[in-house]
Structure 1
Amino acid sequence: MRRILVTGGAGFIGSNFVRMVLGEHPDCFVVNLDKLTYAGNLENLAEFLEHQNHKFIKGDICDGPLVEQIIDEHQID
Protein backbone atom coordinates (compact mmCIF):
# COMPACT_ATOMS: atom_id res chain seq x y z
CA MET A 1 0.00 0.00 0.00
CA ARG A 2 1.32 3.44 -0.90
CA ARG A 3 1.47 5.94 1.93
CA ILE A 4 1.36 9.65 1.22
CA LEU A 5 1.56 12.74 3.39
CA VAL A 6 -0.81 15.58 2.55
CA THR A 7 -0.15 18.93 4.20
CA GLY A 8 -2.99 21.40 4.52
CA GLY A 9 -5.48 18.63 3.88
CA ALA A 10 -8.31 20.30 5.81
CA GLY A 11 -8.39 23.32 3.51
CA PHE A 12 -10.41 23.61 0.31
CA ILE A 13 -7.77 22.32 -2.11
CA GLY A 14 -6.25 19.81 0.30
CA SER A 15 -9.56 18.23 1.28
CA ASN A 16 -10.55 17.85 -2.36
CA PHE A 17 -7.18 16.24 -3.06
CA VAL A 18 -7.74 13.81 -0.16
CA ARG A 19 -11.23 13.07 -1.52
CA MET A 20 -9.79 12.35 -4.98
CA VAL A 21 -6.97 10.12 -3.70
CA LEU A 22 -9.22 8.06 -1.43
CA GLY A 23 -11.88 7.77 -4.12
CA GLU A 24 -9.62 6.87 -7.04
CA HIS A 25 -6.75 5.06 -5.32
CA PRO A 26 -8.00 2.51 -2.78
CA ASP A 27 -4.41 1.25 -2.52
CA CYS A 28 -3.27 4.55 -0.91
CA PHE A 29 -3.14 5.49 2.76
CA VAL A 30 -3.33 9.25 3.37
CA VAL A 31 -1.73 10.88 6.39
CA ASN A 32 -3.22 14.35 6.57
CA LEU A 33 -1.30 17.04 8.48
CA ASP A 34 -3.05 20.36 9.06
CA LYS A 35 -2.61 23.12 11.63
CA LEU A 36 -6.32 24.03 11.38
CA THR A 37 -5.82 27.77 11.06
CA TYR A 38 -8.37 30.06 9.37
CA ALA A 39 -8.20 28.06 6.11
CA GLY A 40 -8.45 24.56 7.58
CA ASN A 41 -11.77 23.12 8.66
CA LEU A 42 -12.38 19.59 9.93
CA GLU A 43 -15.88 19.72 8.45
CA ASN A 44 -14.19 19.49 5.03
CA LEU A 45 -12.95 16.04 6.11
CA ALA A 46 -16.04 14.78 7.94
CA GLU A 47 -16.61 11.91 5.51
CA PHE A 48 -13.00 10.70 5.90
CA LEU A 49 -12.27 11.04 9.61
CA GLU A 50 -13.23 7.39 10.20
CA HIS A 51 -11.97 6.10 6.83
CA GLN A 52 -9.60 3.14 7.23
CA ASN A 53 -7.11 4.67 4.75
CA HIS A 54 -7.01 8.15 6.30
CA LYS A 55 -5.27 9.50 9.39
CA PHE A 56 -5.67 13.14 10.44
CA ILE A 57 -2.95 14.77 12.54
CA LYS A 58 -3.30 18.31 13.85
CA GLY A 59 0.11 19.92 13.53
CA ASP A 60 2.32 22.43 11.79
CA ILE A 61 4.47 21.56 8.77
CA CYS A 62 7.06 23.97 10.21
CA ASP A 63 7.54 21.58 13.15
CA GLY A 64 10.43 19.58 11.71
CA PRO A 65 10.62 16.94 14.46
CA LEU A 66 6.87 16.29 14.14
CA VAL A 67 7.10 15.89 10.36
CA GLU A 68 10.07 13.52 10.73
CA GLN A 69 8.14 11.49 13.31
CA ILE A 70 5.12 11.25 11.00
CA ILE A 71 7.27 10.16 8.06
CA ASP A 72 9.01 7.50 10.15
CA GLU A 73 5.95 6.30 12.06
CA HIS A 74 3.70 6.02 9.02
CA GLN A 75 6.41 4.90 6.58
CA ILE A 76 5.59 7.63 4.06
CA ASP A 77 6.71 6.76 0.51
Structure 2
Amino acid sequence: MKTYFVTGGAGFIGTNFIKYLFESYGEDVRVINYDKLTYAGNRKWLEEFEEKKNYRFVQGDILEIELLTKIFKEEQIDYVVHMAAES
Protein backbone atom coordinates (compact mmCIF):
# COMPACT_ATOMS: atom_id res chain seq x y z
CA MET A 1 0.00 0.00 0.00
CA LYS A 2 1.36 3.40 -1.00
CA THR A 3 0.88 6.45 1.22
CA TYR A 4 0.19 9.89 -0.22
CA PHE A 5 0.78 13.03 1.85
CA VAL A 6 -1.45 15.72 0.32
CA THR A 7 -1.08 19.36 1.34
CA GLY A 8 -4.12 21.51 0.66
CA GLY A 9 -6.37 18.49 0.45
CA ALA A 10 -9.41 20.40 1.72
CA GLY A 11 -9.41 22.72 -1.28
CA PHE A 12 -11.37 22.09 -4.45
CA ILE A 13 -8.54 20.50 -6.44
CA GLY A 14 -7.09 18.65 -3.44
CA THR A 15 -10.44 17.14 -2.49
CA ASN A 16 -11.01 15.92 -6.03
CA PHE A 17 -7.49 14.48 -6.19
CA ILE A 18 -8.10 12.51 -2.98
CA LYS A 19 -11.42 11.31 -4.38
CA TYR A 20 -9.58 10.19 -7.54
CA LEU A 21 -7.04 8.24 -5.44
CA PHE A 22 -9.76 6.37 -3.56
CA GLU A 23 -11.78 5.69 -6.72
CA SER A 24 -8.67 4.42 -8.52
CA TYR A 25 -6.96 2.44 -5.73
CA GLY A 26 -9.64 1.84 -3.08
CA GLU A 27 -8.18 0.11 -0.05
CA ASP A 28 -4.74 -0.13 -1.69
CA VAL A 29 -3.89 3.52 -1.00
CA ARG A 30 -3.47 5.54 2.18
CA VAL A 31 -3.99 9.30 2.24
CA ILE A 32 -2.77 11.79 4.83
CA ASN A 33 -4.54 15.07 4.16
CA TYR A 34 -2.70 18.07 5.60
CA ASP A 35 -4.59 21.35 5.41
CA LYS A 36 -4.68 24.64 7.30
CA LEU A 37 -8.44 25.03 6.67
CA THR A 38 -8.46 28.67 5.70
CA TYR A 39 -11.14 30.25 3.52
CA ALA A 40 -9.92 28.13 0.59
CA GLY A 41 -10.56 24.79 2.31
CA ASN A 42 -13.82 23.19 3.31
CA ARG A 43 -13.92 20.34 5.83
CA LYS A 44 -17.44 19.46 4.64
CA TRP A 45 -15.98 18.36 1.27
CA LEU A 46 -14.01 15.71 3.17
CA GLU A 47 -16.93 14.01 4.93
CA GLU A 48 -17.01 11.08 2.49
CA PHE A 49 -13.42 10.17 3.45
CA GLU A 50 -13.66 10.58 7.24
CA GLU A 51 -14.83 7.01 7.95
CA LYS A 52 -12.12 5.36 5.86
CA LYS A 53 -9.42 3.50 7.79
CA ASN A 54 -6.86 4.48 5.17
CA TYR A 55 -7.54 8.23 5.51
CA ARG A 56 -6.12 10.66 8.05
CA PHE A 57 -6.76 14.39 8.30
CA VAL A 58 -4.25 16.67 10.01
CA GLN A 59 -4.98 20.37 10.42
CA GLY A 60 -1.77 22.32 10.10
CA ASP A 61 0.20 24.97 8.26
CA ILE A 62 2.96 24.01 5.81
CA LEU A 63 5.22 26.33 7.83
CA GLU A 64 4.81 24.23 11.00
CA ILE A 65 8.14 22.42 10.70
CA GLU A 66 7.84 20.58 14.04
CA LEU A 67 4.44 19.11 13.15
CA LEU A 68 5.58 18.12 9.66
CA THR A 69 8.74 16.50 11.05
CA LYS A 70 6.65 14.52 13.55
CA ILE A 71 4.30 13.26 10.83
CA PHE A 72 7.15 12.27 8.51
CA LYS A 73 8.86 10.38 11.35
CA GLU A 74 5.65 8.53 12.29
CA GLU A 75 4.43 7.66 8.81
CA GLN A 76 5.88 5.79 5.85
CA ILE A 77 5.13 8.38 3.17
CA ASP A 78 5.76 7.37 -0.43
CA TYR A 79 4.51 10.47 -2.27
CA VAL A 80 4.05 14.14 -1.43
CA VAL A 81 1.49 16.05 -3.47
CA HIS A 82 1.65 19.77 -2.73
CA MET A 83 -1.58 21.63 -3.46
CA ALA A 84 -1.64 24.09 -0.56
CA ALA A 85 -2.24 27.59 -1.92
CA GLU A 86 -4.35 30.65 -1.49
CA SER A 87 -5.42 32.90 -4.30
TM-score, with normalisation over the residues of structure 2? Answer: 0.83
Alignment partners' CA distance in 1, 2:77 and 2:23 = 19
Q: Where do 5+ consecutive residues of structure 1 fail to align?
A: none
Residue 16 of structure 1 is matched in structure 2 by: 16
Alignment partners' CA distance in 1, 2:19 and 2:54 = 11
Alignment partners' CA distance in 1, 2:57 and 2:34 = 6
Q: Deviations over 1:5-61 (max 9, x none)?
A: 000000100000000001101211000000000001101101001111110011111
What is the identity, as a one-letter code, of the residue corresponding to 1:16? N
Alignment partners' CA distance in 2, 1:51 and 1:74 = 17
TM-score, with normalisation over the residues of structure 1? Answer: 0.93
Which runs of at least 4 in structure 1 moved beyond 2 Å after TM superposition? Answer: none
Residue 39 of structure 2 is matched in structure 1 by: 38
Residue 70 of structure 2 is matched in structure 1 by: 69
What is the identity, as a one-letter code, of the residue corresponding to 2:50? L
Residue 51 of structure 1 is matched in structure 2 by: 52
Identity %: 49
Aligned residues: 77
Shift of 1:68: 1.4
